[in-house]
Amino acid sequence: MIQPFDDTYFMKKALQEAEMAFEKGEIPVGAVIVIDNKVIARGHNLTEMLTDVTAHAEMQAVTAASNFLGGKYLKDCTLYVTLEPCQMCAGALYWSQISKIVYGARDLERGCINLNTKLHPKTTIQGGVLETEASELLKRFFIQKRNLN
């Protein structure tokens, strides 16, 4: 069967990035940026390893995508991220003028939606793609962390 290039396909790639974060003991959030059905950037949370609160998956993916495209604006690009972006990432995405954001799980506490963080007028946002997988991974991480302490 030919794998269609749909939201689920690309969110699976973001989940693979989140798994990599998990393996490193980082809060498992992953992201990819796609243009013309091609992944041009990947990132996963590295805040512990880099001791840098800005090292969220989306921030790294945005930087990598801009490097790849040789321009700061992510026109016609879609970000797939396993967790709803926080205020900082939503802010960076605002500046990037990215066309679309697709997230997996909601983050009711720190996510940009409940905190009313403004997205760029050119940006559309959609959630709930592989939501269960994304939140299960986060739950598994926090349960494991609690058991280690």
* Interface residue with Zn ion, options 56, 66, 80, 96 (CB under 5 A): 56
* Interface residue with Zn ion, options 20, 79, 89, 134 (CB under 5 A): 89
User: What are the phi and psi torsion angles at 40 (to 5°)?
Assistant: -110, -10
Gap between the Cα atoms of 69 and 75, Å rounded: 10
**Residues 97 and 75 sit within 8 Å (Cβ to Cβ):** yes
* Interface residue with Zn ion, options 41, 65, 86, 92 (CB under 5 A): 86
- Nearest distance from residue 59's CB to Zn ion, in Å? 7
14 lies in the binding site for Zn ion (CB under 5 A): no
Identify whether 58 is a catalytic site residue: yes
In a 13 Å sphere around the CA of 89, the CA atoms on its Cβ side amount to 30
CA-based end-to-end distance of the chain = 45
44 lies in the binding site for Zn ion (CB under 5 A): no
Structure tokens at 41: 């950037």
Annotated active-site residue in 17, 26, 58, 84: 58
Catalytic residues: 58
Please enumerate, by residue number, every residue annotated as part of a binding site for Zn(2+).
56, 86, 89
